[in-house]
Structure 1
């Protein structure tokens, strides 16, 4: 049996791409066919200007200019529209990364972000890099910037995305509906009441889990203030992520808390799988990884302030699956919480829908498919200039 060298490439623009890569890394390391596994944030190989452009700027736009992000998302959602400019920027700023990849010489390369995917595609087609490139899409909607001219396999979250890509002209047999890879710990069984007790919460009191996201840029302060009006007995846990200022502000809120129900404020945590198991409702933004983790726990979501673009489209998917409700105004958040908690049948239906929609074993499916592909040695899919034009024409013709 040949043992394979695995390279997983992500980008820390947000945290979802990195978490997906970490989930794959964990599963790959337990496979007898793997020799060495490396997971790399490609931005660490670039200069500070480029790194800030992809990471810091994104975070600032999420917090201060989400409308611009939505406009950019929609404007660039056309096949190959930004291809030449993006590849030029990537090649100008990722020289050390190219050297690293060529020296490591991976048998299998998996990308959880479109930036390294396009770069690897170029290296295979133009520089003779010998590796099998697979691309893991980390949202429920497929954005055109994920398209590559050369690849071995796509892994997507939904059957709808597979249909979309096949209609554009990509070979259907190279598109696997895997779900979005999450840490395997989210599939471990945990009793809700035991989880609450272990986390120091009241096991008999409904728990509202409020998340500001891993970066702590969600509207947690406004959410907590809105939840003061909840009329049913609850307990609230707020996860502030990597935002100590937000945590400090909410700790001050807790010190002045006049409501009768408990409020717990935490920073970044590695125990989100336990908190999701303990909760009755998740209140926050619908990132692809967060939503996949919640569904794996059978945890209904109340969606607040989704980022225009990918998170709004994630919201659409979750609402279609009946695993979430959306709060359009913070004035109605407490009303929505009370409505759900006072209707156990509806809440159970949402829990059931979340579990049925979930794909908690996505990472295992992806890893197994890739290692099986290695044994079969399939040729890469090449999209030539004429095919690129056809894909662009089809995409434009079917765009709503």
Structure 2
């Protein structure tokens, strides 16, 4: 291995979270002097048409078939890495990844999405490259766990225990937190930020995040009921990349001065810094960002699968509330605004879950592991006739 390792980060573009986690790691490597860091959306590169189809189905599942997605998630949750269906899943992208490894010759590989293609190559083709899995949810799905993974980075002590129960030694699991950009750690609210987003300085701000694809159901009804409630707050609605939803919301609330509608916000930590509460879908990255900003969370209509598990975990920890519809959401907001001590209790619970400088923690540990490995590994050529 060279003095400065070459890093390959594998992610998938189902939602924006896996990309954001990967980008946070890439930036952290650069801060620590590691300049050769490649990010690869493997499934999109290897199977572009199938990737587009599955992304479309994934997005639509939130609206039309959430129970089906949840059933698949739960049915495969404890499936072993060498089960027949697991073997099929791990095989997607194998040829493409093999080509990239031979071309780029990385010294280590990081997964921020549970596609264990690298582990499949290590097992089947004799490739020996250190591989690290960075889990991006608060719930464990067995697809993250593979015996050829060198180390795991997880969000919480509870998640570490769950990985241990699947037979992984404790010293191969680091409780790091989910990787975030440094801006989310200890953000600073300011009048300048409020002015930048057109927010009034004298009102509490409720931040509503519809997800990167803007798929939160009942958004207009929710905002109307909040406005009719007469609460002394302003609402910041982030519609993500859904321009149609943004246009709808702008038309619907053009005469409501305390409803502010935005599209995709690249510096979402600024809005989090000036908000008193966030209503969101329970993606692992968004929840981690809110936790890092000590922002009380109301999780709106979580769908079955990892979102429901994320929501259930943070609710058990006292860091979030779940609202199944607009009426329940309004009750939660009224309850929190009327009882500041309850809001502060949530913030205290949130602080107990925070992991400072998560991206740097992961990167520094990986670099430490790399320095400790003295062996030099080369990618072995594929044997003639091999399916890989």
Look up the match of 2:355.
359
Structure 2's unaligned 5+ residue stretches are 376-388
Structure-1 residue corresponding to 2:85: 85
Tell me if the contact between 2:121 and 2:127 (Cα under 8 Å) persists in the aligned partners: yes
- Find the residue that maps to 1:264 and give its secondary structure: strand
CA gap 1:102/1:86 in 2 versus in 1, 3 angstroms: farther
Q: Secondary structure at the match of 2:253?
A: helix
In structure 1, what is the Cα distance between the partners aligned to 2:227 and 2:26? 41
Cα distance in 2, alignment partners of residues 139 and 46 from structure 1: 25
How big is the shift at 1:349? 1.9
Alpha-carbon distance between aligned partners in 1 of 2:336 and 2:191, rounded to the nearest angstrom: 19
Distance in 1 between residues matched to 2:89 and 2:159, nearest whole Å? 28
Alignment-derived partner of residue 152 in structure 1 = 150
Find out whether 1:293 has 2:289 as its counterpart: yes
RMSD: 2.0
Matches within 5 A, 1:206-285: 206-219=204-217, 220-257=219-256, 262-285=258-281
- 5 Å-filtered alignment, 1:1-400, equals 2-32=3-33, 34-80=34-80, 83-88=83-88, 90-91=90-91, 93-115=93-115, 118-191=116-189, 193-219=191-217, 220-257=219-256, 262-377=258-373
More helix, by proportion: 1
With over 3 angstroms needed to count, the CA separation of the structure-2 counterparts of 1:87 and 1:50, relative to structure 1, is farther
Contact 1:79–1:147 (8 Å) recurs in 2:
no
TM-score, structure 2 as length reference: 0.91
Shift of 1:221: 2.5
Number of residue pairs matched by the alignment = 373
Please give the alpha-carbon distance, in whole angstroms, between the structure 2 residues aligned to 1:378 and 1:232: 62
Task: List runs of 5+ in structure 1 lacking aligned partners.
Answer: 380-400
| Shift in alpha-carbon separation, 1:231–1:94, aligned structure 2, 3 A | same
Following superposition, the deviation at residue 325 of structure 1 comes to 1.3
Between the aligned partners of 2:94 and 2:229, the Cα distance in structure 1 is 51
Q: Which residue is 2:384 aligned to? A: none
Residue range with higher mean Cα deviation, 166-175 or 85-94: 85-94
- Classify 1:246/1:171 alpha carbon distance in 2 versus 1 (closer, same or farther; 3 Å): same
Deviations 1:33-79 (A, max 9, x none): x2411111112312333212442221121232111111111111123
- Compute the TM-score of the two structures, normalised by the length of structure 1: 0.88
Tell me, yes or no, if the aligned pair for 2:178 and 2:288 is still in contact at 8 Å: yes
Query: Any idea what the Cα deviations from partners look like across 1:250-274, whole Å, max 9, x if unmatched?
Result: 01111254xxx61110000102000
